[in-house]
Chain A
Amino acid sequence: EAGVAQSPRYKIIEKRQSVAFWCNPISGHATLYWYQQILGQGPKLLIQFQNNGVVDDSQLPKDRFSAERLKGVDSTLKIQPAKLEDSAVYLCASSFRKAPGELFFGEGSRLTVL
């Protein structure tokens, strides 16, 4: 079974530029999450989708971050314009709704904002 796929693995941009990250979850997983992990910290949830609907985006900085999950499969997370404090690893995870909540993570996309 293929795992959660993310791209790009690494991205370096200057502040005020834009960036987009892509995630393809495990086939059949209805729930998709984007987490932000700043160096030295635990992951923080940005947004949670159930199929193509948003369940929780309370910690998403909506003035600069946006995410979509068209057709309830893969998802894109966009940052525009980027700030220095957005430097982090962006982790995508998916889960099968009926499981006790185990999340399967991708390898992450590391963003450096200069």
Chain B
Amino acid sequence: AQKITQTQPGMFVQEKEAVTLDCTYDTSDPSYGLFWYKQPSSGEMIFLIYQGSYDQQNATEGRYSLNFQKARKSANLVISASQLGDSAMYFCAMRDGQGAQKLVFGQGTRLTINP
């Protein structure tokens, strides 16, 4: 069974600093995908970034990048130049198996950006 672990319940960061949110995963399937979602207080889950298990390069989307270390089974999210609007819950999720579209989510990390 697949498993996603986020070990940081909460993170506090000063505005404009970079922040790394940790995510480790466990799967026996060689083909899988890793996702990060942001959930602000409004409740909607917002897709941030995706990394496929066969992708050669780490994914980047604007200020978001994914530090993918396959051997360690980790997929940490890096947010550069943090902004007050980045304060939210962040969830790591995994899809495994080719064609499968079910996502399994971690417990989440609450990020607070201080001015």
Contacts and interface: CB of A to CB of B under 8 A. Distances in A.
A89 B100 CA distance: 24
A42 B108 contact: yes
B103 A45 contact: yes
Given A89-B43, A107-B44, A100 B105 contact: no
Contacts, number: 58
Interface residues of B, number: 24
Interface stretch (B13-21, B45-53, B67-75): B45-53
B95 A101 contact: yes
A26 interface: no
A48 B100 CA distance: 11
Contacts of A48: 101-102
Contacts of B107: 40-42
| Residues of B contacting A: mostly | strand
Given A95-B101, A100-B52, A108 B43 contact: yes
Contact of A45 (B46, B52, B102): B102
A21 interface: no
Interface in B34-64: 35, 37, 42-47, 50, 52
A25 to B, nearest CB: 13
- Of listed A44, A55, A103, residue having the most chain B CB within 10 A: A103
Interface of B: 4, 33, 35, 37, 42-47, 50, 52, 91, 93, 95, 100-108
* Interface pairs A-B: 6 shortest CB-CB: A42-B105, A105-B45, A101-B95, A108-B43, A107-B44, A101-B101
27 contacts: A31-B101, A40-B107, A41-B107, A42-B106, A42-B107, A42-B108, A43-B45, A45-B102, A45-B103, A48-B102, A91-B43, A93-B45, A95-B101, A97-B101, A100-B33, A101-B35, A101-B50, A101-B103, A103-B45, A103-B103, A105-B37, A105-B45, A105-B46, A107-B42, A107-B44, A108-B44, A110-B43
